[in-house]
Amino acid sequence: MRWPGPSRRDSGQVTVEFLGMTPTILITLVLMWQFVLVGYTFTLAGNAADEAVRAGTAVPAGERQGVCEAAGLEKLPDAWSGGVECGGTGYVTADVTLQVPVLFPGVGAFPFFEVEGHAGAVEEETD
């Protein structure tokens, strides 16, 4: 009796299955990378808000917006565009809004998806 091995009908089956799964694997990797960019954008927005409010508490209220905005945008990579707004007296707040890049930072951003970071701190006394 012969040992039942693979028949000729199964030849090439692995290749066909691999080719069928390749688009699914690629789409999964692209989506995972996009989620990484969204998470990193949240991290950048929070850090920029912290930096902005830290700088904004050390200056008088009249100079706050310029100093706060410069400090918030200073450490952001060029690929992430957004804005910084500071305000408040006694309790200084900073709001950072960043656009999430699409797949490659610096190429383009989602026009409808923005990430916001918020921070606040008590104003320091200035002499």
Opening angle at CA 72, ends 68 and 74, nearest 5: 115
Report the C-alpha gap between 108 and 79 in whole angstroms. Answer: 9
Rounded to the nearest integer, the mean pLDDT of the chain is 82
Where do the structural domains in the chain lie, given as residue ranges? Answer: 11-122
On the question of pLDDT at 29 being above 90, the answer is: yes
Q: Where are the alpha helices (DSSP H) in the chain?
A: 13-56, 64-74
pLDDT class of 127 with cuts at 50, 70, 90 = low
Q: Which of 9-13, 22-26, 77-81, 107-111 has the lowest mean pLDDT?
A: 9-13
Q: What crossing angle do the helices spanning 13-56 and 64-74 adopt, rounded to 10°?
A: 150
Predicted pLDDT of residue 44? 92
**CATH topology for the 11-122 domain:** Pantoate--beta-alanine Ligase; Chain: A,domain 2 (3.30.1300)
Looking up tokens 């080719």, which residue turns up?
A: 19
Q: Which amino acid is it at 27?
A: I
pTM of this prediction?
0.77
DSSP bridge pairs for 109: 101
